[in-house]
C-alpha cells in the first residue's frame, strides 16, 4: 500500500524543481510504463492498480518496487485528467556529452512548449535521429506533457542540455543547417548532407540572433499557398518536414 508521504512525494514530481532535487521523472500509462520496463532507465518504483498488477507476468514485475494503489490514490499522484492504471518513477539520465560523428544531430534553440518538444523527440526518433541538443532555456524534457507527447520516444533518444553556442563553437567544422522564415534556401532545392547539425528555433522568435552566425546553410520551407496571411508552421511540423527531407536524400 502507498503511504501519505509517498503520495505527497510522487505528486510533487509534477513540478520541475522537485523532480530535479531527486533527479527523477514520472511516466504514466500502460504503454509508457511497458517501454520504461524494457529500457535501460532505472525504475525506482511502479504504482499500479490491482487490475494492472493482475494482468502482468509475475516474473516481469517482481524485480521492481511495486506499490499497489487504488484508483483514487492514483488520481492523487497522476498528472493526467484520466489516469491509466499505472505510473512509474524513474531516475533521470543527465547526458553531458554528445559527440557529432557521421550522423545528424537535432539542435533545439529555446523550444518552450512541452508538447512541441515531446513531438519533436518522437519525430526525430522515427527518422533515426537519436542525438538531440537543447539550449538551456528549452523546456524540461522530463515535463509530464513532454513525456506524454513523446509517446515513449524519450527512451530511444539522447537529450542533452547545454550552452548551444559553446557546442557550435566546438563543432563549427560540421555542416550546420538552420530553419529560417526569410533569407534561407529552398530545402527542396538545397544540397543536404547525411551528417551535420540541424537547428530548429523558438516557436515565436525562431533562431536567436547570436546563434545565426554559426549557420552555414539557412533553410526555408516554401509555402505553396496563394494566401499572404497564412500562418507559419509550428516547430514540430517544421521539424518533421525538415528531417524527412534530409532522410529522403540519404
In a domain, 97, yes or no: no
| CATH code at position 79 | 3.30.1330.30
Q: Are residues 112 and 232 both part of a single domain?
A: yes
Q: Are residues 78 and 123 both part of a single domain?
A: no
Q: How much is the pLDDT for 1?
A: 86
Q: How much is the pLDDT for 212?
A: 96
Q: How much is the pLDDT for 249?
A: 87
Tally of domains within the chain? 2
| CATH code at position 210 | 3.40.1280.10
In a domain, 69, yes or no: yes
Question: In which domain, by residue range, is 118 found?
Answer: 104-249
Going by pLDDT thresholds of 50, 70 and 90, the confidence category of residue 100 is confident
Q: Are residues 131 and 240 both part of a single domain?
A: yes
In the predicted model, is pLDDT for residue 120 greater than 90?
yes
Mean pLDDT along residues 83-88? 94
Give pLDDT tens digits for 170-192.
Answer: 999 999 999 998 889 999 999 99
Q: How much is the pLDDT for 225?
A: 83
The domain boundary, picked from 60, 91, 122, lies at 91
* DSSP codes, the chain: ---HHHHHHHHHTTSHHHHHHHTEEEEESHHHHHHHHTSSSPEEEEEE-HHHHHTS-HHHHTTS-EEE--HHHHHHH-SSSS--SEEEEEE----------SSEEEEESS---HHHHHHHHHHHHHTT--EEEEETTSPPTTSHHHHHHHTTGGGG-EEEEE-HHHHHHHTTTS-EEEE-SSSPEETTTS---SSEEEEE-BTTTBS-TTTGGG-SEEEE-----S-TTPPPPPHHHHHHHHHHHHHHH-
Q: Are residues 43 and 116 both part of a single domain?
A: no
Give pLDDT tens digits for 52-78.
Answer: 999 998 888 889 999 999 999 999 999
Q: Are residues 80 and 194 both part of a single domain?
A: no
Amino acid at each position: 500500500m502507498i503511504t501519505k508521504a509517498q503520495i505527497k512525494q510522487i505528486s510533487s514530481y509534477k513540478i520541475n524543481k522537485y523532480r530535479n532535487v531527486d533527479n527523477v521523472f514520472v511516466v504514466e500509462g500502460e504503454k509508457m510504463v511497458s517501454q520504461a520496463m524494457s529500457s535501460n532507465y532505472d525504475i525506482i518504483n511502479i504504482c499500479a492498480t490491482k487490475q494492472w498488477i493482475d494482468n502482468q507476468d509475475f516474473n516481469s514485475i517482481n524485480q521492481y518496487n511495486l506499490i499497489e494503489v487504488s484508483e483514487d490514490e492514483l488520481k492523487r499522484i497522476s498528472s493526467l485528467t484520466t489516469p491509466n492504471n499505472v505510473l512509474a518513477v524513474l531516475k533521470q539520465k543527465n547526458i553531458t556529452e554528445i559527440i557529432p560523428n557521421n550522423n545528424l544531430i537535432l539542435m533545439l534553440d529555446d523550444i518552450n512548449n512541452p508538447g512541441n518538444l515531446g513531438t519533436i523527440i518522437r519525430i526525430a526518433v522515427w527518422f533515426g535521429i537519436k542525438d538531440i541538443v537543447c539550449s538551456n532555456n528549452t523546456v524540461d524534457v522530463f515535463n509530464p506533457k513532454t513525456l506524454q507527447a513523446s509517446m515513449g520516444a524519450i527512451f530511444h533518444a539522447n537529450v542533452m542540455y547545454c550552452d548551444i553556442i559553446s557546442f557550435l563553437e566546438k563543432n563549427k567544422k560540421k555542416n550546420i543547417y538552420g530553419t529560417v522564415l526569410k533569407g534561407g534556401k529552398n530545402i527542396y532545392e538545397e544540397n543536404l548532407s547525411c551528417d551535420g547539425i540541424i537547428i530548429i528555433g523558438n516557436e515565436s522568435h525562431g533562431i536567436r540572433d547570436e546563434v545565426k552566425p554559426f549557420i552555414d546553410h539557412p533553410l526555408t520551407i516554401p509555402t505553396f499557398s496563394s494566401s499572404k496571411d497564412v500562418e507559419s508552421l509550428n516547430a514540430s511540423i517544421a521539424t518533421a518536414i525538415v528531417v524527412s527531407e534530409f532522410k529522403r536524400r540519404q
